Amino acid sequence: MFLDNSGRHPLTQEQVVRSNIANACVPRLMPPEYDGGLSEPVSSITNIRPSPREINRQVLSTAKQVVHQEYNALLMQFGQFMSHDMAKTTLVPSAKCNVCQNIPSRCMAIFLAPADPNSNFRADGCLRVSRSSPICGSGRTKPRQQLSENTGYIDGSPIYGSSVGDLHKFREGSTGFLKLNNFNGYGMRLLPFDSSKCRNSGDW
């Protein structure tokens, strides 16, 4: 089975980039842009752009409640599910971003304006962001490229997985059906949980 979309034949590096297979480079529509040209997020060194937090506060946020005659929040959730079906970047495994400073290739700190209304954010001093994992060989002599754990197709990757390991984790061996757990004693059946914060399968 080729759940990662790799097919039966070996692929060249260029074909891997273009094939949308799982655990390979995320295809880009535009070339990457970094401070220094290789790895560090734009404006993390040069400060040539506004803080992402300020853009969110000033441009994307509103206190007004918007009621639409045709669409509700489910439209947004469906769009999010579609985007997570086609790409799932993984975080740098060893990144422990617990201080308000940029750690090259691992962590980025988004500093807050004194007037930021969120007291919890202000108490922390910044928003600490873990970087996504790069593919091997990128970010040093050529621009950093992101790794995607899912295929680049709408194929139910968040539900069924993109590897043989996921297949065995999510499906019953005898029937091939999805594994399900009873939930809350009300007869509701959900995808499997494990000991981590997130479900084994599904979107979060």
Catalytic residues: 84
**The token pair that represents 44 in the structure block:** 């993390």
- Reference 194, options 178, 172, 170; nearest CA is 170
Cα–Cα–Cα angle for 110, 115, 118, nearest 5°? 70
Handedness of CA 144, 81, 20, 198 (dihedral sign): positive
Pairing of strands 24-25, 181-183: unpaired
Burial of 35 (0-12, 13-18, 19+ CB in 10 A): middle
- Contact partners, residue 76, CB within 8 Å, separation at least 6: none
Q: What are the residue ranges of helices labelled H in the chain? A: 13-19, 52-55, 73-86, 119-124, 157-160, 164-170
Burial of 69 (0-12, 13-18, 19+ CB in 10 A): exposed
How many Cβ atoms sit within 10 Å of the Cβ of residue 133?
A: 18
